[in-house]
């Protein structure tokens, strides 16, 4: 397996523009997580899905952020409108439930570095 | 919810020496404690984890110890090498029924000097 695949790797946009980040989890994994990493706040969990269903979105900073998982192999994180304070590295991670034979390890993608000017 | 504190924030060691990073957590019901390593510009990757039914776990030059009474766990790296230079994050589940919903520590920048 190629691992968790994220796109784009880098995105530079202007304030007010819509940003869509994409993630393809490892095949067979039933959990998908979106994390955000900044120097000030570290690694923060934004939202996670189990079997394509959003379980907890309490980490989503505000209504400008939304995430979807239309099927087991694809998820998006959308920011509309974007603001400079959204600049960060956004990581997608997938995992297999320990009850289903997994170990609990989160497999992170390479991340999407977002810069909002 | 869980609160994880990690110390120190930076750690500089001579090659060959040992490095120790300590984390404390607040929820006594927490039962899973992973450590992730993140090299510059790369993704975090799990290097070792420990569950609450054991007090210590080793994997070659790295080990993790857990003290449930004091609610802290530590990462030990022996015989450090330049490739150990990275940021290390400890974590604990935010709630006991959500193993993947992790609260990460702030990270420790480890620099191994030759």
B76-91 confidence digits (pLDDT tens):
999 999 999 999 999 9
- pLDDT at position A111 is 98
SS3 track for A48-76: EEECCEEEECCCCCCCCEEEEEEECCEEE
Query: What's the burial of A54, exposed, middle or buried (CB within 10 Å: 0-12/13-18/19+)?
Result: middle
Say if the Cβ atoms of A42 and B42 lie within 8 Å: no
Q: Would you state the pLDDT for residue A105? A: 93
Percent above pLDDT 90 for chain B: 77
Q: What span, in angstroms and rounded, lies between the C-alpha atoms of B60 and A26?
A: 28
Q: How far is CA A69 from CA A21, A37, A76, A78, in A?
A: 12, 21, 7, 12
pLDDT (tens digit, 9 = 90+) per residue, A26-54? 999 999 999 999 999 999 999 999 999 99
pLDDT at position A2: 83
Closest-CA residue of chain B to A32:
B100
Angle made by CA atoms A114, B103, B50, in degrees to the nearest 5? 125
Q: Is the pLDDT score of B54 beyond 90?
A: no
pLDDT at residue B23 greater than cutoff 90: yes
Q: Which of A36, A55, A104 to mutate to test the interface with B (most CBs of B within 10 A)?
A: A104
Per the document, the length of chain B is: 114
Q: How many CB pairs under 8 A join A and B?
A: 47
Task: Give yes or no for A91 touching B (CB within 8 A).
Answer: yes
Q: Is A106 on the interface with B (CB under 8 A)?
A: yes
Task: Name residues 40-59 of chain B within 8 A of A (Cβ).
Answer: 42-46, 49
Say what percent of chain A tops pLDDT 90. 90
Tokens representing B31 are 């039962």
Per-residue confidence (pLDDT) for residue B56, from 0 to 100:
94
> What residue spans of B1-114 are helical by DSSP H?
none
């Amino acid at each position: 397996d190629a691992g968790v695949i994220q796109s784009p790797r880098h995105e530079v946009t202007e304030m007010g523009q819509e940003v869509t980040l994409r993630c393809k989890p490892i095949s067979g994994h039933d959990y998908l997580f979106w994390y955000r990493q900044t120097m000030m706040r570290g690694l923060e969990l934004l939202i996670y899905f189990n079997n394509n269903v959003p379980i907890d979105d309490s980490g989503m900073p505000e209504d400008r952020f939304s995430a979807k998982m239309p099927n087991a192999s694809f998820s998006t994180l959308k920011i509309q409108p974007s603001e400079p304070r959204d600049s960060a590295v956004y990581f997608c991670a997938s995992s297999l439930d320990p009850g289903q034979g997994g170990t609990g390890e989160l497999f992170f993608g390479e991340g999407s570095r977002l810069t909002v000017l | 919810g869980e609160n994880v504190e990690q110390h120190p924030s930076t750690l500089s060691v001579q090659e060959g020496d040992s490095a120790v990073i300590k984390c404390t957590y607040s929820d006594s019901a927490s039962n899973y404690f992973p450590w992730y390593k993140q090299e510059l510009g790369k993704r975090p990757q799990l290097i070792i984890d420990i569950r609450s039914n054991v007090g210590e776990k080793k994997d070659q030059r790295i080990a993790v110890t857990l003290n449930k009474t004091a609610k802290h766990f530590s990462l030990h790296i022996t015989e450090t090498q330049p490739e150990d230079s990275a940021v290390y994050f400890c974590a604990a589940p935010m709630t006991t029924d959500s193993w993947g919903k992790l609260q990460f520590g702030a990270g420790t920048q480890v620099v191994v000097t030759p």
